[in-house]
Amino acid sequence: MELLPPFHVATPATIAAAVAARQRQATGRFIAGGTDLMVNLRHGLGDPAALIDLRGIPELQHVTAGPDGLVIGAAVTLAELAEHPAVTSRYPAIAAAATAVGAPAHRAAGTVGGNLCLDTRCIFYNRSAWWREANGFCLKYKGDTCHVAPTGKRCHAAFSGDLAPALLVHAAEIDIAGPDGVRRQPLAALYAEDGAAHVRLAAGEFLVRVVVPADPWPAAYAKARARGAIDFPLAGVAVALRRRGSDVDGLRVALTGTNARPFLLEGTDGLLGTPVSPAWLDRLGRLVQKQVSPMRTTLLAAQYRRRVAAALAQRLAATLGGADAVGHAA
Amino acid sequence: MTQAAKQVRSFRLNGRAHDVLVADNVLLLDTLREALGLTGTKRGCDGGECGACTVLIDGTPRLACLTRTQECDGHSVETIEGLAENGRMSRLQRAFHERLGTQCGYCTPGMVMTAEGLLRRNPDPTEAEIRAALAGNICRCTGYVKIIEAVEDAARGAP
Ligand SMILES: Cc1cc2nc3c(=O)[nH]c(=O)nc-3n(C[C@H](O)[C@H](O)[C@H](O)COP(=O)(O)OP(=O)(O)OC[C@H]3O[C@@H](n4cnc5c(N)ncnc54)[C@H](O)[C@@H]3O)c2cc1C
Ligand code: SF4
Ligand code: FES
Ligand code: FES
């Protein structure tokens, strides 16, 4: 692999210092565990003059659980998150999603902020510099054609972070720091359906923390991947389902690995007020198949990812919806 | 190399204090292998995928091919070279040897360091826990069964 570009690393100890460090460096990049960015930099994907390591900032370092919900610092590692007692006991979908990331060494280094701001992935992008150069690069970086959809004008690389869907189904919000201070917004609003610009952060802005409301609905996360031991999701699905009696009274479904952004499924309101049944699961499956848009960005066929996304959603909803429905899931 | 400015970084390496003069863009894997001559830590995929470069940082398994030397300033780094005492292999190393947990040997330093990290945290792991701990270490020779048996043996105190 290539040598790393000649960056220097800043290690700010405050939010303000991190913002200032980024503003001083037009080509600077924030970094945390580096398990995504270091790999990409070694592939010649980016040439920052400075890396600004966010892990030394106290506001980013802790998980706390209280009456206002769960607050997760952006520099908390996935290993810390997955093992936190409040997370394992009350937010099992978040613990499962964190545990589903890579292998233990990735989770020991990789952080929540890095996972939520993960670069998108594509078989034409996650390649060495010489491979990409021989292929004329591509629209996402240094080139002008998308090899996946050559007639299109945008990049379809897939967002493949595991954590985002599990946070989305809990209606998580994020605090973003920037030159104008800290603002709060829904996590869902962080993302755009563009593989070359999927994270909506202005220069100098970074994630400080994630806030997950208290009293979470029962929820679960599952992913399909090529190798069970360690792999990015080909499709990942989180479902949160609240029941009143046997009826579904609240439903949120979120997906990753199928689109340029993780997203909340629309139209789930139409599935409320009835119990989970085989017909209900069919409708859920159709809703998923309609809204995901996997492209040929992975070695496995896009159609497989579409169908497995629906099947995972059905399986999780069947389990959360009550024992009756289990066994009918696709 | 590049012209990035160098700085002195100080860390404990296999229990002894070390100072190295490195630029910020130098990987721990390169410092260990090229500057310090500790070639036990292997460069496999060189991109975070295979686990051959696993070392312990503050006792936790980490990938030296994704870690900058600069990040290790003030921390403790342990490599495969640090396990043997007075020329005798550690119990875990002996178990890999006795149980044929190593064939070509290329994945072995990473496997051993990952297992060492596991056994320090969890001295009596189940087979499932061993498998989960070794999930990021790829071996193209053994088929993994002998590696798992070696870790089980080391945990049980045999051989
Ligand atoms: C072999 C391998 C397998 C992997 N498998 C998976 C997997 O199965 N699932 C998965 O989700 N990931 C996987 N990963 C990717 C990665 O390990 C994780 O997503 C990890 O959580 C990334 O976090 P990090 O702190 O290391 O990110 P970094 O590499 O430090 O940063 C990633 C990106 O996020 C930005 N960033 C970091 N922190 C912030 C912040 N606070 N605010 C704004 N931007 C920020 C950086 O600028 C960078 O663009 C894998 C990686 C490898 C090498
Ligand atoms: S989807 Fe197209 S533009 Fe995006 S990374 Fe792949 S080939 Fe490049
Ligand atoms: S060489 Fe580091 S993971 Fe393969
Ligand atoms: S013994 Fe050859 S790769 Fe594992």
Query: pLDDT tens across A134-146, in order?
Result: 999 999 999 999 9
Q: Whose CA is nearest to atom 52 of ligand 1?
A: B48
Query: Domain boundary at A39, A55, A71, which?
Result: A55
Same domain, A165 and A49: no
Does A74 reside within a domain?
A: yes
Same domain, A275 and A238: yes
Q: What is the pLDDT of residue A95?
A: 98
When scoring B1, B3, B22, B25 by the number of chain A Cβ atoms within 10 A, the one with the most, hence best to mutate, is B25
What is the domain range of residue A49? 1-55
Same domain, A209 and A223: no
pLDDT-derived band of residue A3, with 50, 70 and 90 as boundaries? Answer: confident
Same domain, A51 and A70: no
Q: Is B128 on the interface with A (CB under 8 A)?
A: no
In chain A, the percentage of residues whose pLDDT exceeds 70 is 97
A212 within 8 A of A167, measured Cβ to Cβ: yes
What average pLDDT does chain B have? 95
Within 8 A of A35 by CB-CB distance, chain B residues are: 48, 63, 66
Residue-wise pLDDT for B56-105, tens only, equals 999 999 999 999 999 999 999 999 999 999 999 999 999 999 999 999 99
Same domain, A263 and A288: yes
Q: What is the pLDDT of residue B4?
A: 72
Say whether B4 and A109 touch across the interface (CB within 8 A).
no
Residue in the block written with tokens 């605090």: A175
Same domain, A175 and A277: no
Same domain, A291 and A178: no
Same domain, A89 and A188: yes
Same domain, A29 and A103: no
Quick one: which of A205, A145, A216 has its CA closest to A175? A205
Same domain, A75 and A204: yes
Say whether A34 and B3 touch across the interface (CB within 8 A).
no
Q: What is the Cα–Cα distance from B151 to B114, expressed in whole angstroms?
A: 10
Within 8 A of B51 by CB-CB distance, chain A residues are: 103, 105
A118 within 8 A of A161, measured Cβ to Cβ: yes
Residue-wise pLDDT for A268-284, tens only, equals 999 999 999 999 999 99
Residues sharing a CB contact under 8 Å with residue A131, sequence separation 6 or more, in sequence order: none
Pick the CATH number of B6-82 from 3.10.20.30, 3.40.50.2300, 3.90.330.10, 1.10.3720.10: 3.10.20.30
Q: What ipTM describes this predicted complex?
A: 0.96
Does A143 reside within a domain?
A: no
B102 CB near ligand 4 (under 6 Å)? yes
Does A133 reside within a domain?
A: no
CA of B26 to the centre of ligand 3 (A): 15
CATH 1.10.150.120 domain residues, chain B: 91-156
Same domain, A203 and A74: yes
Residue-wise pLDDT for A59-78, tens only, equals 999 999 999 899 999 999 99
pTM value is: 0.97
Three-class secondary structure assignment of chain A: CCCCCCCEEECCCCHHHHHHHHHHCCCCEEECCCCCHHHHHHCCCCCCCEEEEHHHCHHHCCEEEECCEEEEECCCEHHHHHHCHHHHHHCHHHHHHHHCCCCHHHHHHCEHHHHHCCCCECCCCCCCHHHHHHCCCECCEECCCCCCCCCCCCCCCECCCCHHHHHHCCCCEEEEEECCEEEEEEHHHHECCCCCCCECCCCCCEEEEEEECCCCCCEEEEEECCCCCCCCCCEEEEEEEEEECCEEEEEEEEEECCCCCCEECCCHHHHCCCECCHHHHHHHHHHHHHHCCCCCCCCCCHHHHHHHHHHHHHHHHHHHHCHHHCCCCC
Bond preceding residue B159 cis, omega within 30 of 0: yes
Same domain, A282 and A267: yes
pLDDT-derived band of residue A322, with 50, 70 and 90 as boundaries? Answer: confident
Q: What is the pLDDT of residue A329?
A: 40
Count of domains observed in chain A: 3
Q: What is the pLDDT of residue B112?
A: 98
Here the tokens at position A72 are: 């997760």
Pick the CATH number of B91-156 from 3.90.25.10, 3.40.50.880, 3.90.400.10, 1.10.150.120: 1.10.150.120
Within 8 A of B135 by CB-CB distance, chain A residues are: 103-104, 229-230
B80 within 8 A of B109, measured Cβ to Cβ: yes
A297 CB near ligand 2 (under 6 Å)? yes
Arithmetic mean of pLDDT, A303-330? 83
**What CATH number does residue A271 fall under?**
3.30.390.50
Say whether A42 and B25 touch across the interface (CB within 8 A).
no
Q: Whose CA is nearest to atom 47 of ligand 1?
A: A30
CATH 3.10.20.30 domain residues, chain B: 6-82
Atom of ligand 1 nearest to the CA of A54: 41
Here the tokens at position B6 are: 């160098």
**What CATH number does residue A4 fall under?**
3.30.43.10
Q: What is the pLDDT of residue B106?
A: 98
Residue-wise pLDDT for B4-54, tens only, equals 789 999 999 999 999 999 999 999 999 999 999 999 999 999 999 999 999
CA of B41 to the centre of ligand 3 (A): 10
**What CATH number does residue A177 fall under?**
3.30.465.10
